[in-house]
Amino acid sequence: MQRSKPVLPLAAFCATLLCACASPDVSGSRTTPVAVNVPATVHPGGETADWWYRSGAARAAGNGAMSGKAKNVIVFLGDGMSLTTVAAARILEGQRRGQPGEENQLSWERFPNTALSKTYNTDSQTPDSAGTMTAISTGVKTHMGAIGVSAGHRDDCAGSLRKHRLTWLQLADSAGMATGIVSTARLTHATPAATWAHSPNRDWENDTDLPPEALAQGCTDIARQMVGTPYGRGPRVLLGGGRGEFTPVGQRDPEYDDKVGQRLDGRDLVADWKSAHPQGRYVWNREQMRAAAGAPALLGLFEPDHMQFDHDRNHAAEPSLAEMTATAITHLSQDPNGFVLMVEGARIDHANHYGNAFRALDETIALSEAVRTAVEMTSAQDTLVLVTADHSHTLNFVGYPVRGNPILGKVRGRGGEDDAPGEYARDATGLTFTTLTYANGPGNTGESNRQAAGPKRFLHSPSTFAPVEGRPDLSQVDTAAPDYLQEALVPLKSESHGGEDVGIWARGPGSEAVRGTVEQNTLYHFIVQATPRLRERLCQAGTCDDNGVPVELPQPSDFMR
């Protein structure tokens, strides 16, 4: 059916004229806005999947994303990478180089274009990683815990089967592009899973997690979906943790003699992947990955569970995030049709949940190294690089520390913004305090069933706390030690997410559209609109308006082989 052209409002028309005279970005394209009509809706009742998709398309097109001409796309996702985490990691990286730290920049902070992302789920003010990554992957906001499906109920398998949403990686696979997924988490964990799988419940990672009724209704565990595809060739590169999700209980782990797989259905999904990719290579350590450089497809599972924190990993046996990123780009860039790649620094989130700022900042620095590697290996002329986070955390950066004060240390000064710097600052009871704290979590200094009252140490996973009686004396405590847990006000077994906005940093074709404060699902539309091969495939399926903007919610069945 022929769609009528939308009427261009005067403000948008003026903006179009102004943008037509704007300087080109590094790709040589101009950021020209395109108007898309979005019907008014009642919030939250009227927020259908179709409405979310069209409204995201309208914002991206209005920002000029359609002017992009990207051949390749790389999205870096710092899981739980709040703006506070970014600021503190920036300083720590600089201080490790012998600088004061505040003047330092992480690799992506040099990108020319920035925005803020609103992260809430359709049913939660403070979101989780599944619903947020699904918004980024599909262009549609959804419920907490959702993997690649639009909003519904978390345990409703039957209902979710009608709500599968197409991700931009699956779209790229259907369009003949190479695709890759890299994570330091299990590949079945929320963020990587939401780029490829479809499940109403993020916890259904392998068959032992899938309720019998969900299995009977036709739902498939996430691990099985990650190694199969109805869209094209499937991911050419899969690198991360989670061996146990892919192997049966009767199979011993190749690295740890005391561990076995987790699957009870007897399926060896690694063997299934090998059968589907006879020329591909399966690897489980760093040396094997380096030796598989010429393979046309690569599956790397480096741990039975999540990969180790960068601080703790065996550098000879387990690859860094930067090394996995370089490997993925080397493989994917061989495809003449271009590639899309998602890289997750997953353990930033885990360290924040543990209340351990040292590892959270260290993992953020590791992500910065991965981004730097990608920038060095690609060109701003043809590769769009986006760096963002899925949600925030409760890490606080407080007090009045003097310039260059160790970011993991105690505040030096006298505690007031008008006081001269000097000795350690003191609270109202005369005790020292750290620059970084958490609003809640296992770092609460009350006695728990795991550790005595006072400062807590990693790894602390309590189930009960006693009420706090005052603050501990930190004067003789090394708060910069890797295992020190920052003080937390509210005692929780695991520190919680935060609900504030997170950053988006962008470089390359179409990146000039990344500006302002946007709904998180708009990131999908920045990607597909700035990449001609992706938007052309959407238009072939009849989802575009007369301006060529993909505005209609795509149905996955239209993109299958």
List, by residue number, the catalytic residues. Answer: 129
Phi and psi (nearest 5°) for 511? -70, -20
Residue showing tokens 């409002």: 9
How many helices (H) does the chain have, and how many strands (E)?
17, 17
Distance CA 38, CA 550 (A): 13
Distance CA 524, CA 141 (A): 11
Task: Express the helix, strand and coil content of the chain in percent, nearest 5 each.
Answer: 30, 15, 55
Q: Look at the chain and count its residues.
A: 561
Q: Are 432 and 411 in contact (CB under 8 A)?
A: yes
Distance CA 97, CA 74 (A): 28
Q: In 3-state terms, what secondary structure has residue 167? A: coil
Distance CA 305, CA 312 (A): 14
Smallest CA-to-CA distance from 198 within 169, 225, 230 is with 225
Q: In 3-state terms, what secondary structure has residue 25? A: coil
Element at 342 (helix H, strand E): strand 339-345
How far is C-alpha 336 from the geometric centre of its chain's CA atoms?
A: 27
Instruction: Supply the DSSP string of 226-280, one letter for each residue.
Output: HT--SSSS--SEEEEE-HHHHSBTTSB-SS-TT-B--BSS---HHHHHHHH-TT-
Element at 440 (helix H, strand E): strand 436-441
CA distances from 97 to 90, 105, 108, 358, 360 (A): 11, 12, 18, 16, 18
Tokens of 375: 């920038």
Phi and psi (nearest 5°) for 231? -100, -35
The set of long-range contacts for 94-101, using a CB threshold of 8 Å and a minimum separation of 24, is: 95/404, 95/406, 95/407, 96/365, 99/404, 100/403, 100/404, 101/404, 101/407
CA distances from 517 to 61, 73, 191, 531 (A): 15, 21, 22, 22
Radius of gyration of the chain (CA): 24
Residue showing tokens 């569970």: 305
Distance CA 192, CA 181 (A): 7
Q: What contacts 305, CB < 8 A, 6 or more positions away?
A: 186, 241, 242, 244
Alpha helices in 378-438 (DSSP H): none
